[in-house]
């Protein structure tokens, strides 16, 4: 840690779907700056809604690449006007919405390198990044994670790999429409001229790093895991997957790198325009989900549960089992280990509906229902899918009594507990299928809106039979990026990520499991898995 001085500051950026955010932490890991640019309202000339363009087919979803470029200048201008001293920034890193792709036009590398040239900058310093880079992209609108237009390409990739499960065992996930390899394949097949004019393909994360670097930044292992292209066992691109998506693709990606890699110094453009030090290091950028794992400071065996509009589960995995559900990525802070991601669409909106219907619209009443009902809910189990769920791919409300008979309704208090227990049983079930196991010392880190409800968190603790902690992670991807910037400076000397961020505030213990919970929920989980399969079968279209 001798490399870090008292005056040093570390920046973390997040190029998310709707906004570009920045967080700065000092050498004590205290947040000293937070700011953002909102794409829709601050950059209305790009005419986005929610940061994206949804095309006529309703499947194709893109974002203007130059919008992200302009947003960076706009954000840094705001921060500079606030009086922030960029010369103190020792290192920076960042994250980008996962799976988005950027296609650089042939010759763009020469333009990027002019950002290093003081002679060129003397001539062009009155031009902003958007003006300098306006002709650098062969595809002006970047496919993003909301895109679902590449089904044919997904099917072709799975056939080439010998099936969906074979592909998951290679890359950590079955083929998904939003994943970059399938988007590249679609671009080659539907827009061959633009693809022919492309000399480099970036993820949103490596594209953003390239702006600071003034050269093409490599894709890091962790974000690269979300492309259906990276062989997790080799830590390199899979030739089988590359050739299935676009023959000759490897040179357009270059070799992936560990997530803690220091890529080089920030380019002269940022030194001259904003006052960065020429010694400021750029650490490899990663995806927003891996960056959030870093921001939450997960440790081996931990699980993070975000309780929002959609519920998300992050897992630190030592022994992953890639499957047909969920995603396995290379761990962004420990490259020899893994992380997993599970997403559930039916989160807070369903909890709010049951609050209104079964608890008189009162969170106090909702919490009281959880307090007044027993662990295990007398054997009653419910599935509440207001929209088609991801895991499982089912829809509708399905209630079962203690004898596994389907019933049409529950008493109000029973309904509330069936919802909350069912949501957490589902998370545990699917986490265990990916290789998660409760161990001594396992912690559950809770965040998101529902993490403020003590009774909900008690059910979470009981179902997982582990203590629950809460953390302030409204900007977890940004914060994780700032932490990773600091770690990048000391990683080569053997300092672990956890040691480099040990000064950060500790999460707060908010719930511990009831002594009866393990036996009750271990047994209940077996039934839940069987009933979930039954629900899934009932939800499938009948021939």
- Give me the sign of the Cα torsion angle 167, 172, 177, 179: negative
What are φ and ψ of residue 393, in 5° steps?
-80, 70
1 pLDDT tier (thresholds 50, 70, 90): very low
**pLDDT score, position 329:** 96
Check whether domain 9-290 has CATH 3.40.309.10, yes or no: no
**pLDDT score, position 325:** 87
Q: How far apart are CA 283 and CA 279, in angstroms?
A: 12
Tell me if residue 349 falls in helix, strand or coil.
helix
Tell me if residue 259 falls in helix, strand or coil.
coil
Q: Average pLDDT for residues 161-190, to the nearest whole number?
A: 97
Q: Where are the chain's structural domains?
A: 9-290, 297-543
Q: What digits encode the pLDDT tens for the residues 83-139?
A: 999 999 999 999 999 999 999 999 999 999 999 877 766 766 678 999 999 999 999
Q: What digits encode the pLDDT tens for the residues 248-277?
A: 999 999 999 999 999 999 999 999 999 999
| CA 175 to chain CA centroid, nearest Å | 17
Q: How far apart are CA 24 and CA 93, in angstroms?
A: 11
**pLDDT score, position 473:** 61
**pLDDT score, position 543:** 44
Tell me if residue 68 falls in helix, strand or coil.
helix
Distance set, CA 418 to CA 386, 398, 512 (Å): 15, 10, 20
Q: What is the mean pLDDT of the chain?
A: 94
Q: How far apart are CA 318 and CA 312, in angstroms?
A: 19
| CA 470 to chain CA centroid, nearest Å | 19
Q: Hey, what are 447's tokens?
A: 């965040």
Q: What digits encode the pLDDT tens for the residues 335-355?
A: 999 999 998 989 999 999 999
Q: What digits encode the pLDDT tens for the residues 463-517?
A: 999 999 997 766 889 999 999 999 999 999 999 999 999 999 889 999 999 999 9
**pLDDT score, position 447:** 86
Mapping DSSP onto H, E and C, the string for 239-254 reads HHHHHHHCCCCHHHHC
**pLDDT score, position 128:** 92
| pTM score | 0.89
Q: How far apart are CA 487 and CA 502, in angstroms?
A: 11
Do the domains at 9-290 and 297-543 have one common CATH topology? Answer: yes
Mapping DSSP onto H, E and C, the string for 380-428 reads CEEEEECCCCCCCCCCEEEEECCCCCEECCCCHHHHHHHHHHHHHHHHH
pLDDT at 2 over 60: no
> Regarding the domain with residue range 297-543, which homologous superfamily does it belong to in the CATH classification?
ATPase, nucleotide binding domain (3.30.420.40)
Q: Average pLDDT for residues 209-228, to the nearest whole number?
A: 98
Q: Hey, what are 123's tokens?
A: 């001539």
pLDDT at 293 over 70: yes
Q: Average pLDDT for residues 198-224, to the nearest whole number?
A: 98
Of 449, 240, 270, give the one whose Cα is nearest residue 355: 449
């Amino acid at each position: 840690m001798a490399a870090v001085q008292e005056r040093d500051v570390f920046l973390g950026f997040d190029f998310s779907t709707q906004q570009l955010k920045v967080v700065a932490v000092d050498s004590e890991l205290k947040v000293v700056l937070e700011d953002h640019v909102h794409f829709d309202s601050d950059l209305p000339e790009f005419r986005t809604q929610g940061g994206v363009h949804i095309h006529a087919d309703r499947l194709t979803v893109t974002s203007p690449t130059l919008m992200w470029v302009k947003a960076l200048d706009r954000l840094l201008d705001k921060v500079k006007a606030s009086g922030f001293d960029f010369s103190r920034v020792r290192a920076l890193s960042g994250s980008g919405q996962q799976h988005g792709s950027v296609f650089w036009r042939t010759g763009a590398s020469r333009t990027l390198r002019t950002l290093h040239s003081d002679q060129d900058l003397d001539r062009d310093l009155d031009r902003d990044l958007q003006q300098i880079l306006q002709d650098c992209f062969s595809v002006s609108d970047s496919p993003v994670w909301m895109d679902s237009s590449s089904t044919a390409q997904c099917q072709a990739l799975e056939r080439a790999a010998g099936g969906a499960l074979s592909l998951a065992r290679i890359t950590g996930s079955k083929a998904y429409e939003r994943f970059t390899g399938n988007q590249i394949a679609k671009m080659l097949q539907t827009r061959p001229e633009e693809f022919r004019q492309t000399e480099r393909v970036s993820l949103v994360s490596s594209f953003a790093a390239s702006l600071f670097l003034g050269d093409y930044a490599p894709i890091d292992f962790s974000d690269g895991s979300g492309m259906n292209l990276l062989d997790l066992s080799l830590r390199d691109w899979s030739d089988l997957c590359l050739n299935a998506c676009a023959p000759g693709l490897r040179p357009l990606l270059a070799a992936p790198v560990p997530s803690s890699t220091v890529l080089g110094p920030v380019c002269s453009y940022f030194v001259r325009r904003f006052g960065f030090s020429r010694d400021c290091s750029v650490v490899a950028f990663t995806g927003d989900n891996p960056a959030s794992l870093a921001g939450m400071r997960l440790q081996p065996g931990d699980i993070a549960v975000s309780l929002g509009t959609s519920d998300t589960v992050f897992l630190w995995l030592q022994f992953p089992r890639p499957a047909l559900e969920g995603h396995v990525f290379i761990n962004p802070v420990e490259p020899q280990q893994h992380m997993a991601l599970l997403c559930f669409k039916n989160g807070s909106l369903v909890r709010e509906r049951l609050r209104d219907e079964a608890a008189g619209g009162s969170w106090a009443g909702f919490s009281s229902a959880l307090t007044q009902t027993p662990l295990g809910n007398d054997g009653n189990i419910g599935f509440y899918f207001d929209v088609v769920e991801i895991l499982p791919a089912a829809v509708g409300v399905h209630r079962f009594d203690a004898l596994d008979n389907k019933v049409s309704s529950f008493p109000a208090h029973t309904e509330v507990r069936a919802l909350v227990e069912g949501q957490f049983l589902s998370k545990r079930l699917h986490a265990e299928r990916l290789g998660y196991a409760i161990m001594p010392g396992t912690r559950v880190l809770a965040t998101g809106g529902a993490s403020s409800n003590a009774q909900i968190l008690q059910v979470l603790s009981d179902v997982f039979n582990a203590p629950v902690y809460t953390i302030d992670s409204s900007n977890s991807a940004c914060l994780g990026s700032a932490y990773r910037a600091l770690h990048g400076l000391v990683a080569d000397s053997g300092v672990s990520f956890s040691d480099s961020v040990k000064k950060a505030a500790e999460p707060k213990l908010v719930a511990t499991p009831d002594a009866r919970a393990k036996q009750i929920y271990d047994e209940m989980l077996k039934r839940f898995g069987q009933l979930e399969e039954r629900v899934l079968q009932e939800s499938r279209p009948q021939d």
